[in-house]
Structure 1
Amino acid sequence: MHKRDLIRNISIIAHIDHGKTTLVDRILECTGTIEKRKMKEQYLDTMDIERERGITIKATPVKVLYKASDGLEYEINIIDTPGHVDFSYEVSRSLAACEGAILLVDASQGVEAQTFANTYLALENDLEIIPVVNKVDLPNANIEETVAELEDLIGFTADDCIYASGKTGQGIPEILEAIVHNIPAPSGDINAPLKALIFDAEYDKYRGVVIHARIVDGEVTVGDKIKMFSTGEEFEVTEVGIFTPELVPTDTLSAGEVGYIIAGIKDVDSAKVGDTITSAANPVTTPLPGFKEIKPMVYAGLFPGLPEYYEELRKAIEKLKLNDAALSFKPENSPALGFGFRVGFLGLLHMEVVRERLEREFEIACILTAPNVVYKVKLRNGDTVDITNPAKFPDDSQIEEVQEPFVTLNIITPSEYMGSLIGFITSEKRGEFKEVENAGKNRVVLKFDAPLAEIMFDFFDKLKAISRGYASMDYEIIGYRPSDVVKVTILVNRETVDALSFIVHRSKEYTVARRVVEKLKDLIPQHQFQIPIQAKAGGRIIARSDIKALRKDVLAKCYGGDITRKMKLLEKQREGKKRMREIGKVNIPQTAFLALMKIGEDEEK
């Protein structure tokens, strides 16, 4: 029997908080991979943010050895996947590195949109799927309904499923047996030229980039010269090994195996997720399918809390970028906020994680402006430009056409909330209703096409509010479509504040502008003079709100007396206020720059 016949490469597909990391903890315990004294909760989650939020951001692979009922010892490589929609490309590459997947569904929550989407991703990669119903020990576990949903949505029956609990360890031996008997061994030719898939990469400050790779054909040994297919760059391998989940060096990695490669690579950009590694001396002619450049979908301005920390912020972002190839940034200058950066993110969770990591790991307080999507603007002179910053949006007179990114949106919800959700998405969020499918007892899948910009602000909160927390969503970018959008500029004390400008659909310009100026009125403190806040679009003012001046009682010293004396004092005060307003500078607090994200709050209260 060939060594490769005893290898099983699997991934675990699950929605956030369905118990994936806990299940892996039990597998590590059951197979004796981690010593009891070293075992801790969420063993594979290494970041504090992952542990606190209970989410996986950076996938960690691990190799376990399992002695099966047939007496043979199998090598099982578990390639963990992030559960959030922002990281769906990374999920697709992790799945491409496997032959099988465990579909994990929480018996108390049922099938959710993310699981549904990732299962179809697994089916597209021709993976063998093992359905597991998790958390069966919970008092509110509804096993029958969960199985009915699996049957309706994906076609599994009650007999196909394994019933498990990541907490108590129930069902773990059955899962391990199913992995070795149901999932095929990897194919691949050890004598063919090297062909390996990069499914992840991380930066180590002492050794450079550590590539996480699945060897498809051939083998790689220390001293080999390797070549990246997409860039053509060549490197010499200094170390190869396996994950236990600690890095353990080995002599060689051959076809079918999963492991890491270190080759003195200085930058994560040189080891792109999804790229093919081949031999420099004997390269393959065609790469593995599915590689694409990761492009940021959401941009926001990032500024230091105090201008003197600009250099520290730049160094911190550069260090984060070493570990996160999806992050992109370039310097920008704002009259209101000083020097900072325009940073590109995969989505809102990615943005939140980056901000939190900057504050925790580098102890830097930073201001993030409201995020916006990338608009493609076709100008009258024939050029097409990508607009990542609303302040750089061209004048209406120069624009031929504007296109904005659209997504296909899947929402799984109890059927009683269907009408309210369709109404909310089609009327408030410019969505186009496509179809509805049954998803088990009393649940449906709603499908929409909607602009990405509309699902960035307060969408998730409203979705949960309308469905009382029961609906779940998943979206996928489907490309750009023409759209009638307009830039709204905010003026504070008749001065343009570029960091507060935003782009909105023409049908909403008045309502959003009015809400923003009202919100800013609450967020900007009173000054000694009256401050007008105006919203301007298409060359005209479309909304205005005034912050009243702080009054100083100049009449306090007049006890009775002549009215003309009082009039004189008030006139003098009025002149002083007028002069002050002309030279006075308005202090805008940091919270005001997030006004756009807060405009939905008042309606919910």
Structure 2
Amino acid sequence: MAEIDHIRNFCIIAHVDHGKTTLSDRLLEQTRTVQQREMKEQLLDSMDLERERGITIKSHPVSMIYEHEGKEYLLNLIDTPGHVDFSYEVSRSLAACEGALLLIDAAQGIEAQTVANANLAMAQDLEIIPVINKVDLPSANPEAIEHQIEEILALPREDTIRASGKSGIGIQDILSAVVNRLPPPRWAIFPQARVLVFDATYDAFKGVICYIRIFSGEIKKNDEIVFMGSGTKTTVKEIGRFSPQMISEKSMTAGRTGYLVTAIKELSQIKIGDTITLTSEPAKEPLPGYKEVRPMVFSGVYPLDTNDYTKLKTGVAKLQMNDAALTFQAESSAALGFGFRCGFLGLLHMEIVQERLRREYDLDIISTYPSVVYKVTKSDGSIINVDNPLFLPDPGEIEQVEEPTIRATIHTPNGCIGDILALVSEKRGFCDHTETVDADRVMLVCTLPLNEILIDFNDRLKSITKGYGSMDYELGDYQPGDLVRLDILVNSEPVDAFASIVHRDKAASRGRALCERLKEILPQQMFKVAIQASVGSNIVARESLSALRKDVTAKCYGGDITRKRKLLEKQKEGKKRMKQIGKVAIPQDAFVKVLKTS
């Protein structure tokens, strides 16, 4: 067992697709943690979705033994997610470390999430080792990147290591720097046992598996423990390390990273960032930084085939076992049948959950227009949270509606500033200030309503900047806004699946777009159908779907025009009566087409 001075806990942080997982592979190879015959690319990314998209969704810890100058060191690496949706998990993973490798692509340079993750690491007071990755690329420009590191992150360029996760350049230098430049485990002399839960997953056989970092004390098998945040008491069934498979041990001491299995069977009972201590000698104060994670984006998820409702219910429940941040509750829609209102951390989280439902549970699903949580102050002074447009009170009962905002950091080439500012303005945002990154790039700091970036903001940002732009955001404050519920009426009947909360200035244009789209998609009826968009009792847009008409004048050949007119008037009267009693059945594929393009 390694002495505490010979333990190093570190993580790798970077922008998406800057090579974190590939670098982890090389470190595992270099320290012979994984045999060559067992090695495969992106070893720590276990999900197919992670491999395909080149993103890390769940953090994966691993312990490595490294020999340096005749001494053995235990290196605990935590591979962290890079996307903004998982920033709380990143912050907890950072809290489990004393140092971080900050990875920067030698061709792309510092991106939005590079700055965000570096700031998170600095806030945790971690020692940062900057690493310029992919230096073997033909387009690599490490000198320019070193200048960016010094200018933007205020880290000395002499500390930078040049490496390549693909070809193995600089891996030995990185391992030496981890041993020499990172401090040994902190807070180890605290008298009582304190253990940080920085992640958790669900296993069908073992139940909940907590990923832990022991800060002080010792945890043994069969110890009685308590989770300080939730107050849950339980017994340690198994404890051990990742190498990278789970290897059980009798006990774990201060400074070590590994896993812990208890009698808890539901992931919702475990809170990420919670502190574990012994019931026999409990710690007085928990480790800092714990907070409750709340979903920010809500969307209705329905099966295309109503017979798949039970299958969808099972799928969502199983996904929640491995993802405590996912929330769901049953809801029904007159148009779409039975489904669930799901809460997600953000857009990528929503996309991943929906993709996993399609793949892992073989489900055809449709999701409604995503919404955020609004704070509504009613006329009687009460405040309610609204995450579903259908629950927004009548305009007469509303005193004020507040919407969540974000503080976005956008990195863009110089030539695209005007178009980016126009996009931000169109989305009801404003630019707080700009910073020059280097001769070619600029960083814009903007404030935007969260609701406005839900659908196409990132796609349009990539289009404007030809793929070179990147964005990172953090949640801001709630701000009052002139927000209204936009309803779509078909033949004077509201269709709940198309309801959305929008800004009053955008209600007419969005309503017109939806009405035009529905006019193209809906099948013609035997009578004329009005498709309307309304805000309260005001109609803000309208399209008419013309009626199917039988040619009643076909049998009139020759003769007086009054004969034809008589037949047409008779048909007109029939259409009028039909319209009064007729109902429009909207086919399922119409919802699919509209919701996929809205």
Q: Which residue matches 2:474?
A: 476
- Which aligned pairs between 1:17-416 and structure 2 lie closer than 5 A? 17-68=17-68, 70-189=69-188, 192-416=191-415
**Do the aligned residues in 2 keep the contact of 1:493 with 1:586 (CA within 8 Å)?**
no
Post-superposition offset of 1:488: 0.9
Q: Which residue matches 2:493?
A: 495
Distance 2:372 2:175 in 1: 44
Distance 1:463 1:226 in 2: 49
Distance 1:35 1:560 in 2: 93
**Do the aligned residues in 2 keep the contact of 1:519 with 1:595 (CA within 8 Å)?**
yes
Query: Aligned with 1:503: secondary structure?
Result: strand
Query: Aligned with 1:237: secondary structure?
Result: strand
**Do the aligned residues in 2 keep the contact of 1:50 with 1:57 (CA within 8 Å)?**
yes
**Do the aligned residues in 2 keep the contact of 1:152 with 1:438 (CA within 8 Å)?**
no
Whichever residue aligns with residue 115 of structure 1, its letter is T
Post-superposition offset of 1:583: 2.3
**Do the aligned residues in 2 keep the contact of 1:377 with 1:402 (CA within 8 Å)?**
yes
**Do the aligned residues in 2 keep the contact of 1:370 with 1:594 (CA within 8 Å)?**
no
Write the deviation string for residues 581-602 of structure 1: whole angstroms up to 9, x where unpaired. 4323332444536746735xxx
Post-superposition offset of 1:199: 0.6
Post-superposition offset of 1:19: 0.8
Write the deviation string for residues 310-332 of structure 1: whole angstroms up to 9, x where unpaired. 22211211111111010111111
Relative to 1, partners in 2 of residues 1:422 and 1:561: Cα closer, same or farther, differing over 3 Å? same
After the TM superposition, which of the residue ranges 467-476 and 189-198 deviates more from structure 2?
Answer: 189-198
**Do the aligned residues in 2 keep the contact of 1:520 with 1:592 (CA within 8 Å)?**
no
Query: Aligned with 1:238: secondary structure?
Result: strand
Write the deviation string for residues 37-85 of structure 1: whole angstroms up to 9, x where unpaired. 11111111111111111111111111111112x1111111111111111
Distance 1:560 1:145 in 2: 86
Distance 1:9 1:483 in 2: 46
Whichever residue aligns with residue 53 of structure 1, its letter is R
Distance 1:317 1:575 in 2: 51
**Do the aligned residues in 1 keep the contact of 2:61 with 2:242 (CA within 8 Å)?**
yes
Distance 2:245 2:558 in 1: 85
Distance 1:347 1:579 in 2: 49
Distance 2:406 2:60 in 1: 29
Query: Aligned with 2:195: secondary structure?
Result: strand
Relative to 1, partners in 2 of residues 1:568 and 1:127: Cα closer, same or farther, differing over 3 Å? same
Distance 1:42 1:15 in 2: 16
Distance 1:523 1:273 in 2: 46
Q: Which residue matches 1:603?
A: none
Write the deviation string for residues 227-276 of structure 1: whole angstroms up to 9, x where unpaired. 11111010111000101111110111111100100002111111111111
After the TM superposition, which of the residue ranges 442-451 and 575-584 deviates more from structure 2?
Answer: 575-584
Whichever residue aligns with residue 132 of structure 2, its letter is V
After the TM superposition, which of the residue ranges 232-241 and 475-484 deviates more from structure 2?
Answer: 475-484
| Aligned counterpart for 1:529 among listed residues 524, 527, 530 | 527
Post-superposition offset of 1:10: 0.6
Relative to 1, partners in 2 of residues 1:580 and 1:42: Cα closer, same or farther, differing over 3 Å? farther
Ranges in structure 2 where 5+ consecutive residues have no aligned partner? none
Distance 1:571 1:34 in 2: 84
How many residue pairs get aligned? The number is 597
Post-superposition offset of 1:492: 1.3
Distance 2:347 2:377 in 1: 27
Post-superposition offset of 1:579: 4.7
Distance 1:99 1:540 in 2: 59
CA RMSD of superposed structures (Å): 1.9
Distance 1:289 1:595 in 2: 46
Write the deviation string for residues 517-561 of structure 1: whole angstroms up to 9, x where unpaired. 222223333344332211111321111112233444455566656
Post-superposition offset of 1:516: 2.0
Write the deviation string for residues 398-450 of structure 1: whole angstroms up to 9, x where unpaired. 1111111011111111222222212321x201112211112123222111111
Distance 2:529 2:244 in 1: 59
Relative to 1, partners in 2 of residues 1:551 and 1:28: Cα closer, same or farther, differing over 3 Å? farther
**Do the aligned residues in 2 keep the contact of 1:524 with 1:589 (CA within 8 Å)?**
no
Post-superposition offset of 1:98: 0.3
Query: Aligned with 1:514: secondary structure?
Result: helix
Post-superposition offset of 1:562: 6.1
Distance 1:531 1:48 in 2: 47
**Do the aligned residues in 1 keep the contact of 2:532 with 2:543 (CA within 8 Å)?**
yes
**Do the aligned residues in 2 keep the contact of 1:431 with 1:450 (CA within 8 Å)?**
yes
After the TM superposition, which of the residue ranges 565-574 and 204-213 deviates more from structure 2?
Answer: 565-574
Relative to 1, partners in 2 of residues 1:96 and 1:573: Cα closer, same or farther, differing over 3 Å? same
Post-superposition offset of 1:360: 0.9
Whichever residue aligns with residue 315 of structure 2, its letter is A
Post-superposition offset of 1:307: 1.8
Query: Aligned with 1:77: secondary structure?
Result: strand
Relative to 1, partners in 2 of residues 1:49 and 1:554: Cα closer, same or farther, differing over 3 Å? farther
Percent of pairs with identical residues: 51
Q: Which residue matches 1:548?
A: 546
Distance 1:574 1:152 in 2: 76
Relative to 1, partners in 2 of residues 1:83 and 1:203: Cα closer, same or farther, differing over 3 Å? same
Distance 2:75 2:323 in 1: 27
Relative to 1, partners in 2 of residues 1:191 and 1:412: Cα closer, same or farther, differing over 3 Å? closer
**Do the aligned residues in 2 keep the contact of 1:145 with 1:441 (CA within 8 Å)?**
no
Write the deviation string for residues 122-168 of structure 1: whole angstroms up to 9, x where unpaired. 00001111111111111111222222221211023442211111111
Relative to 1, partners in 2 of residues 1:23 and 1:66: Cα closer, same or farther, differing over 3 Å? same
Distance 1:16 1:388 in 2: 29
Whichever residue aligns with residue 29 of structure 2, its letter is E
Q: Which residue matches 1:602?
A: none
Give TM-score scaled by structure 2 length: 0.96
Distance 1:96 1:176 in 2: 21
Relative to 1, partners in 2 of residues 1:559 and 1:170: Cα closer, same or farther, differing over 3 Å? farther
Post-superposition offset of 1:572: 5.0
Query: Aligned with 2:376: secondary structure?
Result: strand
Distance 2:578 2:149 in 1: 68
Query: Aligned with 2:255: secondary structure?
Result: coil
Q: Which residue matches 1:458?
A: 456
Query: Aligned with 2:158: secondary structure?
Result: coil
Query: Aligned with 2:290: secondary structure?
Result: coil
Distance 1:158 1:333 in 2: 58
Q: Which residue matches 1:430?
A: 428
